Chain A
Amino acid sequence: MSLDFKPGAFDFFRDETFRESFTYRNSNPLRFPFPFDRDDYMYSVNMEPHVPGRKGTAFEHILDVDEHYVAEMIDRAKVLADDPLRCQSLPHMTLAGWDLLELIMEAKARDYPQWFSLTKNGNRWHWVNRPLGIEQSFTFLDESTLPYGPFEYITRQTQGDFSLQDERDNDLWMDAGMITSQADWSLDFDIGMSFMEWHAPVPLAHEKGVFDRALKFLLKLQHGAPVRRFNWTMTVNPLLDTAPETYPKWGPTKTTLTQENLGAKQHLRVELQSLYRLPRSNAIAFDIRCYLCSFEQIVTVPKWARRLHRVVRDLPDELAAYKGFLRNRPAMVEWLSKYDDGAPTSPGWWPDD
Chain B
Amino acid sequence: MSGGAKLRVRVDSVTPVNDLIKRFRFVALDGSDLPAFSGGAHTVVEMDDHGTRRLNPYSLMSSPADRSAYEISVRRDDQGRGGSLFMHRHVTPGMEMTLSYPVNLFPLDTRARKHLMIAGGIGITPFLAQIAQLDQFGGRFELHYAARSRVLGAYMDRLTAAHPSQVHCYFDEENQAIDLSRLLATQPIGTHLYVCGPKGMINWVLSSAEAMGWPRLALHHEEFLAPGTGLPFEVQLAASGKTITVGTTQSLLEAMEAAGVDAPYLCRGGACGQCETNVHKCDGKILHRDHWLSPEEHAANAKIMPCVSRFEGKTLVIDR
Contact = CB atoms under 8 A, between A and B. Distances in A.
B1 interface: yes
Interface in B29-54: 35-38, 41
Interface stretch (B96-104, B173-181, B226-234, B248-256): B96-104
B190 to A, nearest CB: 12
Nearest to B266: A220
Contacts of B272: 220
B274 interface: yes
Contacts of A216: 273
B109 interface: yes
Interface string A141-168: 1000000000000000000000000111
A56 interface: no
A92 B35 contact: no
Contact of A279 (B1, B37, B136): B37
Nearest to A224: B5
A4 to B, nearest CB: 36
Interface string A95-127: 100010000000000000000000000000000
B110 interface: yes
A119 B110 CA distance: 30
A224 B4 contact: yes
Contacts of A169: 217
Given A95-B137, A220-B274, A224-B4, A280 B110 contact: no
B158 interface: no
Contacts of A282: 38, 41, 104, 107
A208 interface: no
A8 B80 CA distance: 68
A337 interface: no
Contact of B35 (A166, A168, A223): A223
A331 B136 CA distance: 59
Nearest to B107: A282
A95 B36 contact: no
A81 B183 CA distance: 50
Interface in A166-207: 166-169
Interface residues of B, number: 24
Given A220-B272, A225-B1, A280 B64 contact: yes
B89 interface: no
A279 B273 contact: no
B111 interface: yes
Q: DSSP majority for the B interface?
A: loop
Interface in A31-80: none
Interface in A252-310: 279-282
A26 interface: no
A282 B60 CA distance: 14
Interface residues of A, number: 19
A281 B5 contact: no
Nearest to A220: B274
Given A279-B36, A279-B37, A280-B38, A222 B101 contact: yes
Contacts of A223: 5, 35, 37, 101-103
B266 A167 contact: no
Nearest to A170: B273
B33 to A, nearest CB: 10
A216 B37 CA distance: 21
Nearest to A99: B36
Interface string B281-316: 000000000000000000000000000000000000
A167 B101 CA distance: 18
Nearest to B112: A92
A167 B40 CA distance: 13
Contact of A167 (B36, B107, B111, B136): B107
A346 B297 CA distance: 43
Contacts of A92: 110-111
Contacts of A219: 273
Contacts of B136: 141
A279 B110 contact: no
Given A166-B110, A167-B107, A169-B217, A222 B36 contact: no
A273 to B, nearest CB: 20
Interface in A216-234: 216, 219-220, 222-225
Contacts of A279: 35-38, 102
Contacts of A224: 4-5, 35, 101
Contacts of B35: 223-224, 279
Contacts of A166: 110
Contact of B38 (A168, A220, A222, A281): A281
Given A223-B35, A225-B4, A281-B38, 15 more contacts: A92-B111, A99-B36, A166-B110, A219-B273, A220-B266, A220-B274, A222-B4, A222-B266, A223-B5, A225-B5, A225-B101, A279-B36, A279-B102, A280-B37, A280-B38
25 contacts: A92-B111, A95-B110, A99-B36, A167-B107, A168-B107, A222-B4, A222-B5, A222-B101, A222-B103, A222-B266, A223-B5, A223-B37, A223-B102, A223-B103, A224-B101, A225-B1, A225-B5, A225-B101, A279-B36, A279-B37, A279-B102, A280-B36, A280-B38, A282-B38, A282-B104
